[in-house]
A and B are shown apart, each in its own frame.
Chain A
Amino acid sequence: MDYKSEYLHPQYEALSREELQKLQLERLQATVQHCMNSPFYKARFEQCGLKPEDIQSLDDIRKIPFTTKQDLRDTYPFGMASVPLTKCVRLHSSSGTTGNPTVILHTQKDLDEWANAVARCLWMVGLRPDDVFQNSSGYGMFTGGLGFQYGAERLGALTVPAAAGNSLRQIKFIKDFGTTAIHAVPSYVTRLYEVMQQEGVDPRRDTKLKVLAIGAEPHSEEQRKRIEDMLGVKAYNSFGMSEMCGPGVGFECKEQNGLHFWEDYYIVEIVDPETLEPVPDGEIGELVLTTLNREAMPLLRYRTRDLTRVLGRTCPCGRNHIRLDRMKGRSDDMMVLRGVNIFPIQIEKILMQFEELASNYLITLTTDDDNDNMTVEVELEKFDDDYAKLQKLEKEIRRRLKDEILLTPFVKLVPKGTLPVSEGKAVRVVDKRKVYQ
């Protein structure tokens, strides 16, 4: 490791566009060949008459059908695997509250590559082996925990698996261990700052913090600036998704002008979510990713449902890996709130269990004092002039929603017939968060 080098992997990071594309084609061909070992892809290739040798150029990727989250659910748990299970060493799974969970398998090589990718991201924003990295994100199935843990260790930083929550302890660690870098969801960073203020801790004076990795929930440029001003640090946007390992897929460089998606790991396509045709650079479309060096579970043309656009394919930092804008929303109805993925159907399922409630409801997402909140308004079916009962009902709805979506929303009972009913499909979600303004 060369401390002074801006690149952790110069052999990949500093490639020219031509060299990158050559590498991508080689890896795509190998990946498609390898996918023949996956029962799912083998059947799908046969269905559309695709043979591995049909991939002769990068454009030929368009011959490959898209893979969707539904495909992952349908093949639950192991139907996508391209290696025998004995070769797999790790399994991550989504909560599966909207049907079958999704499962992502990893071989040891996959985990190594994942750690390399995260290490590369952190190195890019200035982390070195003498740094102290505090990972204040959830562990367990949430890939932001183990993903950053292994990545920071691979880089050689002293890594503290602080996990999320217990702000007082977090602040003690930051001070006592001389933490220089933190990874957390942006709303939690704001929370940490609030507690620091209450405790009389000045992050500039009392801590050595210099770098923050923030991600896993949508946030605006203004939010990032505010976080940087609060803590006196640089905050870099991180993109990951469990289907693609987790973190380490895309990360901002010091230019803070879009996220570099590592094109030695992925082929990035931006398509129109309706026509599925590619959109020109600069236009917003759905992000589609193809893994290029995954062993256990390669994914071809995976529709992420995240909306973004290409900002450029070169960068003053010297990396020619594609730069994408921060995520602009979703092409499905999934909400991301404080790092948790939530579908409206999960909320509906709970509300419909209460016979006291009517079937009309509205979910509103807001940013209040830097915290993202969810309010669930639901119509009352039968009103019987009992305030205590209404309060109890509200409390019970809140509790059951929390069990389902792992966050506590505000619950508001409203009179029957007062929520907007649109023609045909009802509007269920209103997103008023600053990020989408």
Chain B
Amino acid sequence: MTIHQISIFIENRSGTMIKVLNVLKQADVDIIASTVADTAEYGIYRIICSDPKKAHEQLKNAGIQCTISDVFALELDNLPGKAADAVAIFSEAGISISYLYSFLLNGKGILIFRTDDNEKAKATIKANGLKYITEPKLPTMA
């Protein structure tokens, strides 16, 4: 029910992003969505891509500190209030979301997020009949 996201620990310094992107370019990996969480000292660059395993391997080989995380990807209708409704369900279930970002894919709103309790989140998605995206589906959608 979850998909793989590459999370990269990067320095807040010019030249670090391009190093990451060049590795992905050379590996012929397609970036579907990405976001940077920054603090004064460092950043976490999170990427949903066409081939997370390959991306992870190539980044590691290039000496870039990264990890694969399991995140949820909900598919929502692109209408006002849909994100609020979805998040409310998790909130009511007592599940904390540690980070969240979204993007549009083929006219659908995609909500990517990580929770503190994946098992409970899975049960909640199931119980509420929420639509989610599986990893094999991602490249075909892009």
Contact of B41 with A388 in the complex, beta carbons under 8 Å: no
Contacts A415-B64, A416-B65, A417-B63: A383 and B41 contacting too (C-beta < 8 A)? no
A interface residues, tally (CB under 8 Å): 16
A159 CB, nearest partner CB in chain B, Å = 44
Contact of A417 with B65 in the complex, beta carbons under 8 Å: yes
Contact of B98 with A383 in the complex, beta carbons under 8 Å: no
Contact of B65 with A383 in the complex, beta carbons under 8 Å: yes
Contacts A415-B64, A416-B65: A385 and B44 contacting too (C-beta < 8 A)? yes
Interface size of B as a range: 20 to 34
Provide the residues of chain B in CB contact with A380, threshold 8 Å: 9, 65
Contact of B98 with A418 in the complex, beta carbons under 8 Å: no
Q: Is B101 an interface residue (CB 8 A)?
A: no
Contact of B11 among A383, A386, A388, A418 (CB under 8 A): A418
Among B63-98, those with CB < 8 Å from A are: 63-67, 69, 98
A416 to B64, CA, bound (A): 8
Among B25-83, those with CB < 8 Å from A are: 37, 39, 41-42, 44, 46, 63-67, 69
Among A405-437, those with CB < 8 Å from B are: 412-418
Contact of B67 among A383, A413, A418 (CB under 8 A): A383
Contact of A415 among B11, B37, B46 (CB under 8 A): B11
6 pairs of A and B residues whose beta carbons are closest in the complex: A385-B7, A415-B65, A383-B9, A385-B69, A412-B41, A415-B9
Q: A383-B67, A385-B44 are in contact. List 12 more A-B contacts (CB 8 A).
A: A380-B65, A383-B65, A384-B69, A385-B46, A386-B98, A387-B98, A414-B11, A415-B10, A415-B11, A415-B42, A416-B65, A418-B11
Q: List 12 A-B contacts (CB under 8 A).
A: A383-B7, A383-B66, A384-B69, A385-B44, A387-B37, A387-B39, A387-B99, A412-B41, A412-B42, A415-B11, A415-B42, A417-B65
Show the binding face of A for B, using Cβ within 8 Å: 380, 383-388, 390, 394, 412-418
Show the binding face of B for A, using Cβ within 8 Å: 5, 7, 9-11, 37, 39, 41-42, 44, 46, 63-67, 69, 98-99, 114
